[in-house]
Amino acid sequence: MVGTNLKAESMGLMEKRSALEAEMNAVIESLTQPGGPGISGNLLDSEGFPRHDIDIPTVRAERRRLAELRNDHKEITEKLNENIQVLHSARLAPKSSSLRDSDAQSASVVDVVASASSTNVHSDSTNAMDVDVIVRVPFVLVDEIADASPAGEDGLQLGDQIVKFGNVEIGDNLLQRLASEAQTNQGHGIPVILVRQGAQVNLTVTPRTWEGRGLLGCHFRIL
């Protein structure tokens, strides 16, 4: 019964999270359209007056909404990961030779949740009898990409949520670690795992000098 309830709850959370991601992408696309202010760009002109080329009240409302969506997304992801860990623990618990129906049901639930939640869960089977489920959470969002930048040319897109950037995964000092990873691997491809519109995408980004600033030409915002 517990496994069934957790499965239903997790499926519902995944649906909510997908809806949040779709709305976040729509807001980001609106803010970052050509001539737009971006997610964190200045709303004042060079003389310190409000910009006349944008609807400032709308921009502020969209930025507030994006912040709310990010908080909701973080809470749902944390709860979903807790559920998956519980289901995974139930699956790996020692069982007697006479497996009860409830145990078998709990053991199968993690398979369903893991396969349906490709956004945050990656399963890696070393063999048929030893299955390890690794929970991976996006930690930064690509909110700005310069034209003709290495990041853009190598496939990164606005709204991409980075799960792993080379050796960098979720943790502390993320922006510093990302910058260090790019500098250390200048001229060499960095494997990147990201979430784009609810689906996992794998690509390679090569930090390199170009006409603009930095080695990537994009901006990351911590989730």
Each as own residue / partner, the long-range contacts of residues 96-101 (CB below 8 Å, 24 or more positions apart, any chain) are none
Q: Smallest Cα–Cα separation from 109: which of 196, 6, 221, 185? A: 6
Mean per-residue pLDDT, 191-197:
89
Mean per-residue pLDDT, 174-181:
91
Question: What's the pLDDT band for 97 if we cut at 50, 70, 90?
Answer: very low
Q: What confidence tens digit (pLDDT) does each residue in 62-90 have? A: 999 988 998 898 888 888 878 777 776 76
Tell me how far apart the alpha carbons of residues 174 and 170 are, in angstroms, rounded to a whole number: 7
Question: For the chain, what are the domain ranges?
Answer: 2-135, 140-222
Residue 102 has pLDDT above 50, yes or no: no
Q: Which residues of 124-151 are buried (b: 16+ CB within 10 A; e: fewer)?
A: eeeeeeebebebbbbbbbbbbbbeebbb
pLDDT in the model for residue 96 = 44
pTM: 0.49
pLDDT in the model for residue 2 = 54
Tell me how far apart the alpha carbons of residues 16 and 193 are, in angstroms, rounded to a whole number: 22
Which DSSP category does 168 fall into? B
Mean per-residue pLDDT, 162-172:
87
More confident of the two residues 210 and 21? 210
The CATH fold of domain 140-222? Pdz3 Domain (2.30.42)
pLDDT in the model for residue 99 = 44
Tell me how far apart the alpha carbons of residues 217 and 212 are, in angstroms, rounded to a whole number: 7
For 96, counting Cβ atoms within 10 Å of its Cβ (0-12 exposed, 13-18 middle, 19+ buried), the class is exposed
Contacts of 154 (CB under 8 A, 6+ apart): 203, 204, 205, 206
pLDDT in the model for residue 101 = 46
